[in-house]
């Protein structure tokens, strides 16, 4: 996962292979078309591996972690990414999605690594709730970016259907992850405050 996010970051910002105002897929025969395919395939493979979380939860009989949010997010990201690749091809606007999503997953899997490798410190990892906030920021940025490309880059060749799908999924994920954050991090704190006041 780290290598995928590093690749996206390096090629988008350091090398500057794309116009960030309108990230269109490279045409066939472009010198970086193969790189685009490799990055896209690595991202798609990561999404399939993320979906395997659900399989591992079932095998460990850890059903409390299998929620609608978990299933919807991982199924959409793996099968949706595959379907969009088949329909729209590789790269382009997906590079922004891939970069942000890979960065967030790098932070998230670092947390999972620490909590599984060092179970004694799990309760002391104070930044767990910020992972969800980071995911929410990611979805706000992707929604904003899709709106920007659709309405402020009028000559951009990114298919409008893809931009509208990004907007819709951004809103859906903001709702689902926001609901998760409120339920897991804000309500327990409010319940403790109310208990102390009673």
Measure the CA–CA gap between 63 and 60, rounded to whole angstroms: 8
Max distance between CA atoms of the chain, in angstroms, equals 70
Q: Is residue 157 classed as helix, strand or coil in its secondary structure?
A: coil
List 40, 73, 74, 105, catalytic entry: 73
Contact 8, 39 (CB under 8 A): yes
Structure-block tokens of residue 91: 């790269």
Instruction: Specify whether 73 is catalytic.
Output: yes
Beta-carbon contacts of 191 under 8 Å, excluding residues fewer than 6 positions away, are none
Residue 17, CA distances (Å) to 7, 13, 37, 143, 145 in order: 12, 8, 14, 22, 18
CA trace torsion 142, 145, 146, 147 (10° rounding): 120
- Residue numbers annotated as active site: 73
């Amino acid at each position: 996962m780290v290598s995928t996010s590093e690749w996206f970051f390096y090629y988008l910002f350091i090398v500057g292979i794309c116009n960030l105002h309108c990230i269109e897929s490279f045409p066939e025969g472009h010198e970086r078309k193969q790189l685009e395919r490799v990055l896209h395939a690595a991202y798609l493979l990561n999404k399939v591996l993320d979906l395997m979380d659900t399989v591992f939860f079932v095998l460990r009989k850890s059903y409390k972690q299998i929620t609608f949010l978990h299933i919807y997010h991982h199924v959409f990201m793996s099968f949706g990414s595959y379907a969009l690749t088949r329909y729209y091809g590789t790269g382009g606007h997906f590079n922004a999605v891939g970069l942000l999503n890979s960065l967030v997953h790098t932070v998230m899997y670092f947390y999972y690594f620490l909590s599984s490798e060092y179970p004694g410190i799990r309760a002391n990892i104070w930044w767990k709730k910020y992972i969800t906030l980071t995911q929410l920021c990611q979805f706000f940025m992707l929604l904003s970016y899709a709106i920007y490309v659709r309405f402020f880059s009028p000559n951009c060749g990114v298919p409008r259907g893809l931009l509208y799908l990004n907007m819709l999924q951004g809103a859906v994920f903001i709702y689902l992850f926001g609901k998760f954050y409120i339920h897991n991090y804000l309500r327990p704190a409010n319940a403790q405050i109310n208990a102390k006041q009673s």
